[in-house]
């Protein structure tokens, strides 16, 4: 399920993943373990994530880190401004929509716990919520 460039030292469990190429796609799974998953999301200026994303991974927490660009995250009934360096936790079952600002792409790195998407970016089948 690995879609990024992984630099490995033989015999070492640590992973270093180059994300630059993956940022060219709207959503790309970078790497997955049994307990977590990393992905990039790139939204065009004025673009937004799907409202259905809250249903796609209701059993998984999502940590969203802004690499570049600005925008907003609507989580439940609250909105948070996003800028480079912002880190947002979206808890399980929280409805959410991420919107890019009007001038620049919004590039994020996301960590899902547990994994929420297949290697090609399709939502995994719904799991029993914990």
Rounded CA separation 50/70 (Å) = 18
Of the given ranges (55-59, 92-96, 119-123), which has the lowest mean pLDDT?
Answer: 55-59
pLDDT greater than 90 at residue 129: no
pLDDT of 1: 45
Rounded CA separation 109/3 (Å) = 14
Residue environment code for 109-124, b if the CB has 16+ CB neighbours within 10 A, otherwise e: bbbbebbbbeeeeeeb
pLDDT of 10: 55
Task: Render pLDDT for 3-38 as a digit per residue (tens, 0 to 9).
Answer: 455 554 555 677 888 888 877 789 999 999 999 999
In the chain, where the domains are located = 5-113
More confident residue, 115 or 55: 115
For residue 45, count other CB atoms closer than 10 A to its CB.
Answer: 13
Entry pTM: 0.83
* CATH architecture label of 5-113: Sandwich (2.60)
How is residue 95 written in tokens?
């409805």
pLDDT of 13: 73
Task: Render pLDDT for 102-120 as a digit per residue (tens, 0 to 9).
Answer: 999 999 999 999 999 999 9
């Amino acid at each position: 399920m690995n879609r990024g460039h992984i630099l490995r030292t033989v015999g070492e469990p640590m992973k270093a993943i180059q994300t630059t190429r993956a940022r060219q796609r709207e959503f790309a799974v970078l790497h997955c373990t049994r307990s977590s998953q990393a992905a990039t999301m790139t939204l065009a200026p004025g673009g937004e994530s799907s409202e259905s994303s809250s249903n796609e991974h209701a059993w998984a927490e999502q940590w969203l880190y802004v690499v570049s660009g600005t925008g907003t995250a609507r989580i439940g009934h609250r909105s948070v401004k996003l800028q480079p360096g912002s880190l947002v936790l979206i808890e399980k079952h929280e409805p959410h929509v991420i919107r890019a600002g009007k001038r620049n792409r919004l590039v994020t790195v996301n960590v899902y716990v547990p994994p929420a998407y297949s290697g090609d970016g399709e939502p995994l089948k719904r799991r029993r919520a914990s």
